[in-house]
Amino acid sequence: MTSLAILGVGKVGGETAFLSAALGLVDEIVVYDVYEPLLRAQVLDLQHTGIDVAISTETAAMRDADIFVFAAGTPRTPDIKTRADLLEANIPVAKRCSELLEGFPGVVISVTNPMDANNYGLWKMMGIDRRRCIGFGSQLDSARFAGFLREVGIPGPAWVLGEHGDRQVPVFSKTGSDLDTGEREAILSRMRGASMEVIRGKGGTVFGPAYHIAMLIRAILHDRREVLPCSCVLDGEFGLSGCSLGVPARIGREGILGIEEWELDTWESAKMAEAGAFVRELCRRFDG
């Protein structure tokens, strides 16, 4: 029997629960949200699908899950410029989450923004093996990158590493294209604004994140051992440490099975170093 726990069943957590049930990824889903009316509504709505999946709201059962998704906390509104601006608001939620997960033996997926810092924070506060803390965001950034590349006739592959935020690093060198720096920066600038267009229009991003979180859950539970762009706590990889950052990671049943250290070109390496320095500064809030 496979069990998925989700903390925070708002837009992303709720859709992830639904999609995981609809795709038949798990036998049981344990959900919790501080906002009781929403929690009850999400449970009922899931039950009304008639899908054969057990739904529980017992927080104690979260520790027995195979995978735990941290999707609780404050999201961006059009007034909140960057994901990093959510750090102070979401640190108490990450702390509460780490307390709830004491002794958790499974794989954690961090979604709450600023995701890279929160993934690092959960790893630090829980004191678990870094291979069991996967930050979600670069898969979504990569899907957005693929869309922008298609517009200019470049088929990909589209990989985005770095911060899940303004310092994301699209890996143009893997696309086989010869775009100059100005063209790269123009695409990157559109990528930076991609989610805000959705947030302005419908209050938050939902389908994109939930779909790719479900694909990550599938990669773990089915032990697919495929390489996905995920935020991992780094220990010297890409010359970085003291932070969690998007890197190509082989994902399987135990979590992060390995990190691939790709050769990046000069533009990409500089962006990666910038991203590392920026996120490391955010992560310091969890070091003290």
Ligand X SMILES: O=C(O)C[C@H](O)C(=O)O
Ligand Y SMILES: NC(=O)c1ccc[n+]([C@@H]2O[C@H](COP(=O)([O-])OP(=O)(O)OC[C@H]3O[C@@H](n4cnc5c(N)ncnc54)[C@H](O)[C@@H]3O)[C@@H](O)[C@H]2O)c1
Residues of each annotated binding site for NAD(+): 8-13, 33, 90, 111-113
Helix 138-151 / helix 207-221 crossing angle, nearest 10 deg: 120
Q: Tell me the site size for ligand X, rule CB under 6 A.
A: 7
Q: CA-to-CA distance for 109 and 165, rounded, in angstroms?
A: 17
- Based on CB atoms, which residue is closest to ligand X, 121 or 252? 121
- Based on CB atoms, which residue is closest to ligand X, 128 or 217? 217
What is the token pair recorded at 76? 């961006």
Binding residues: 8-13, 33, 76, 83, 90, 111-113, 144
Q: Residues 98, 195, 231, 244: which binds ligand X (CB under 6 A)?
A: 195
Write down the residue that tokens 């990824």 correspond to: 25
Active-site entry in 48, 164, 212, 222: 164
Phi, psi values for residue 267, rounded to 5°:
-60, -45
Does 76 sit near ligand X (CB under 6 A)? yes
Does 95 sit near ligand Y (CB under 6 A)? no
Does 32 sit near ligand Y (CB under 6 A)? yes
Binding segment (CB under 6 A) for ligand Y, from list 48-56, 106-114, 174-182, 238-246: 106-114
Q: Give the DSSP per-residue string, 170-231.
A: E-GGGTT----HHHHHHHHHHHHHHHHHHHHHHSS--HHHHHHHHHHHHHHHTT--EEEEEE
Q: Tell me the site size for ligand Y, rule CB under 6 A.
A: 32
- Among ligand Y, ligand X, none, what does residue 73 contact (CB within 5–8 Å per kind)? ligand Y
Does 140 sit near ligand X (CB under 6 A)? yes
Does 209 sit near ligand Y (CB under 6 A)? yes
Q: Residues 56, 113, 119, 138: which binds ligand X (CB under 6 A)?
A: 113
Q: CA-to-CA distance for 13 and 37, rounded, in angstroms?
A: 15
What is the token pair recorded at 141? 């950034």
Write down the residue that tokens 């961090």 correspond to: 110
Q: CA-to-CA distance for 20 and 200, rounded, in angstroms?
A: 26
Provide the minimum distance between the beta carbon of 189 and ligand X in the complex, in angstroms, as a whole number: 15
Q: CA-to-CA distance for 92 and 73, rounded, in angstroms?
A: 9
Our answer to whether residue 222 is catalytic in this structure is no
Binding residues for substrate: 76, 83, 113, 144
What is the token pair recorded at 247? 């890197």
Binding segment (CB under 6 A) for ligand Y, from list 59-67, 133-141, 150-158, 220-228: 133-141
H/E segment holding residue 140: helix 138-151
- Based on CB atoms, which residue is closest to ligand X, 155 or 193? 193
Does 192 sit near ligand X (CB under 6 A)? no
Does 242 sit near ligand Y (CB under 6 A)? no
Does 162 sit near ligand X (CB under 6 A)? no
CA-nearest of 256, 237, 255, 244 to 286 is 244
Q: Are strands 255-259 and 241-252 parallel, antiparallel or unpaired?
A: antiparallel
- Based on CB atoms, which residue is closest to ligand X, 56 or 195? 195
Q: Which amino acid would we find at residue 170?
A: P
Contact positions vs ligand X (CB under 6 A): 76, 83, 113, 140, 195, 205, 209
Residues with a catalytic annotation lie at: 164
